[in-house]
Structure 1
Amino acid sequence: MRETGDGPERLNTGTAHSARVYDYILGGKNHYEADVAAGDAMVEVWPALPAHMRANRAFMLRASRCLAREHGVRQFLDIGTGLPTSPNLHEVVQEVAPAARVVYVDHDPIVLNYAQALLASTPQGRTTYIEADMRDPDAILGAAGFRDTLDLDEPVALLVIGMLHFIHPGDDDQGLIRRLLDPLPSGSWLAATVGTADFAPQEVGRVAERYAAEGMPMHLRTHAEASAFFDGLETIQPGLVQVHKWRPDPDDERVRDEDIAMYGAVARKP
């Protein structure tokens, strides 16, 4: 069963957007000239950017599979979904548990357009798309799709992948995560990745400058700052590490530490 939100805003194709730049750099087809130009400029200043982005996505797939297979999670709330790229989150978790339910959230109208076409659930499960901004948790938690799809008497996995470097401390970054976690029951989970310049400060700093020039300012965090998002939660092994070091699969792409600018962790809500 598949449901989508409604009321998309006018699509702006003349300005680069983070989801479409991500799609372009990963080799997708759902982007425009502005996204290509921005992506090329970013890869020029940091050639490792595609490998970094692939590692971030691979973390999401491993973490969601782990939660479904090893911890029995059957409900997922994915914030900042981005453009659908198979395998999507619901494909991974429904392969483990066909009745799993997934709520996707993004605020780019092009993501809504492709979500309508591609985010198709198994007959036993359910996928819903909500058009909303992470900076407005009330809009997410109050959406009919959220209430109708997720049972808050059962654990929910909150995924925030590749998003937090676009959320600044002035936006109450940690408060946003808490507001999303608060209504979720004990035994729920947070899986998140957090951008950092700890390993290649000059190169990653130049990428951040390019994003800012395109109207997408970033805030990169140290390990200690990234850890704060998981305060009060029970982080599972191996803790907060670079994403390529979190339970890697034998066939994962081999990368250098200095080519990965993202920490990742999975933690349980007591």
Structure 2
Amino acid sequence: MSERNPYGLDVSTANVARIYDYMLGGKDNFAADREAAEQILKAFPESREGVRLNREFLGNAVRYLAAEAGIRQFVDVGAGLPTQKNVHQIAHEVDPEARTVYVDNDPIVCVHGRALLAGAPTVAMVEGDLRAPEEIWARVTGTGLIDPEEPVGVLMVALLHFLDDPYAEVAKLREMLAPGSFLVVTHLSMAERRAGDTDAVKRVYSRASSGVVPRTVEEIKMFFGDFEILDNGVFISPSALERMAILGWGGVGRKH
């Protein structure tokens, strides 16, 4: 991306979506984003692989939901910028008619995302904040792509650790999903042996567009409520899961 100021972007403050893009090897980032990413990599050299494993988990989960569970509609909350192997692209490998709605709370990310997704009739991007779940759901269903009476795959991938206490909001969104729906979550975890490194990462994000709140695996699992959490081995290899564990945890839950 040019260092000029497209779409009125603040290019001087690191943005979590663009840091993620840089970690994935994308080009939709600026000098401030790259500097922040390099500071994170200094504290956690595993971060770049962790981001890629996170993306691998997302892809495997979407592929499973589309191919094995018969899900044909997806909502990606906190989607950030469309990057390599997006949710809709993976779902389309199974069914070209599968529908996807991306949600992000950054209006500039939404403008840029809509430009990147222009011309895709089964895909939409809406502005919304998880802290207002009813509003998100109204905007998602308002696209006409998501049928609230049918099962849906909802993704909150690398999102919830940017919010202080989102348990009630996630619970409200879970309530609105039809039986047979799925929730996919990945989250930055907290390991005592790397507490100092985690604090360094928190300091980097405190100067970016959002702070970060790592949680224990048990605290992350609480986001699923009474959903049945599926076996992680379905979505990522045991060795990859072990490498990912120092940085984060991911899970997929089904609503009965």
Paired position in structure 1 for 2:90: 92
Partner of 2:3: none
- In the alignment, is residue 257 of structure 1 matched against residue 251 of structure 2? no
2:173 aligned with 1:180:
yes
- Asked if the contact 2:101–2:140 (Cα under 8 Å) also holds between the matched residues in 1, the reply is no
Normalised by the length of structure 2, the TM-score is: 0.88
5 Å-filtered alignment, 1:155-174, equals: 155-169=151-165, 173-174=166-167
Tell me by how many angstroms 1:205 deviates.
2.9
Range that drifts further, 208-217 or 228-237: 208-217
Q: Is the contact made by 1:23 and 1:30 (CA closer than 8 Å) also made in structure 2?
A: yes
Letter in 2 for 1:167: L
Q: Do 1:94 and 1:122's aligned partners in 2 also have CA atoms closer than 8 Å? A: no
1:86 alignment partner AA: Q
Q: Deviations over 1:30-78 (max 9, x none)?
A: 1112112211221122211111111111110010100001100001010
Identical-residue share of aligned pairs (%) = 35
- Any residues of structure 2 matched to 1:184-223 within 5 Å, and which? 184-198=177-191, 200-214=194-208, 216-223=210-217
Question: What corresponds to 2:218 in structure 1?
Answer: 224
Alignment pair present for 1:83 and 2:81: yes
Matched, 1:148 2:144: yes
Aligned 1:5-154 pairs, distance under 5 A: 10-119=8-117, 126-143=122-139, 146=142, 148-154=144-150
In 1, Cα distance between equivalents of 2:47 and 2:58: 17
Matched AA of 1:184? L
Give the aligned residue type for 1:265.
G
Q: Is the 8 A contact 1:26 1:53 kept in 2?
A: yes
Partner-residue secondary structure (3-state), 1:103: strand
CA contact (8 A) 1:76 1:101 kept: yes
**Counterpart of 1:113 in 2: which secondary structure?**
helix
Distance in 1 (alpha carbons) for counterparts of 2:244 and 2:177: 36
Task: Report the more deviating stretch, 193-202 or 151-160.
Answer: 193-202
For 2:251, what is the secondary structure of its paired residue? strand
Bigger helix share: 2
| Unpaired stretches in structure 2, ≥5 consecutive residues | 1-6
Deviates more, 1:127-136 or 1:210-219: 210-219
SS at match of 1:159: strand
Secondary structure class of the residue paired with 2:171? helix
Whole-Å Cα distance in 2 between the matches of residues 259 and 177 of structure 1?
23
Q: Secondary structure at the match of 1:175?
A: helix
The size of the alignment, in residue pairs, is 249
**Once the 2 structures are TM-superposed, how far is the Cα of residue 191 of structure 1 from its aligned partner?**
0.6
Q: Partner of 1:43: helix, strand, or coil?
A: helix
Deviations 1:138-189, CA, capped at 9 Å, x for gaps: 32112266451111121011100000110112xxx11111122222111111
Q: Which moved more, 1:16-25 or 1:39-48?
A: 39-48
Partner of 1:248: 236
Give the direction of change, closer, same or farther, for the CA distance of 1:208–1:127 in structure 2 (3 Å limit): same
* Uncovered stretches (5+) of structure 1, i.e. residues with no partner: 1-8, 239-244
| C-alpha distance in structure 2 between counterparts of 1:51 and 1:19, whole Å | 17
Matched position secondary structure for 2:144: helix
1:3 corresponds in structure 2 to none
Relative to the length of structure 1, the TM-score reads 0.84
Question: Are residues 1:266 and 2:252 paired?
Answer: yes
Cα 1:228–1:76, aligned 2, differ >3 Å: closer, same or farther? Answer: same
* Structure 1 residue 117: Cα displacement: 3.1
